[in-house]
Chain A
């Protein structure tokens, strides 16, 4: 059974710091991996999607890497801002495109000004 773990559960940093969020999964046979942002009481915003054949994806100040063989992914946030404060979720898809996702519990990030 696939399990997704995110470490740390919570993180507080001052504005401007670079930070790394970690995600691990137990079954390396994934189709893709996604990172989402969730604001309190809100839905999900997709940040980055990495296909199983890819090693990393970048969008602005965000960079996500994937090491499928070791079951790990990291989300790197450069020059953090207070507006980055949110919960970041990692999710994997086991099947082909469009199948359900298995989520981690998330990392709650707080960036202070």
Chain B
């Protein structure tokens, strides 16, 4: 139990285009979803926190107009990277809060490459 499905696992897009990443909780309701980003040889850094039905809270330095987060249902949260640039190339991973467990459940991550 407690599985978060994240898609796509890898995506290559052209500079200036938008990319949507989905995280879906398969067997529990994810009231809160955390989105992290990991640059090579760096730690995972929290980008934003989204609660179902409300606006996401972004960490300092993360552009909310560039990284659009939607958490319209208790089982689906999406992160859209708008007007992607090569510097947005990174590993993005979501983590869902499960009220029945002491720890959050992570997705498998998305490797984004912007060319």
Contacts and interface: CB of A to CB of B under 8 A. Distances in A.
Interface in B73-115: 91, 93, 95, 97-99, 101-104, 106-109, 111
Interface residues of A, number: 22
Interface residues of B, number: 26
Most chain A CB within a 10 A radius of its CB, from B43, B49, B91, B106: B43
A43 B107 contact: yes
B105 to A, nearest CB: 9
A44 B46 CA distance: 15
Contacts of A104: 43
Nearest to B104: A98
Contact of B43 (A34, A49, A89, A100): A89
Nearest to A98: B97
Contact of B103 (A43, A49, A102, A106): A49
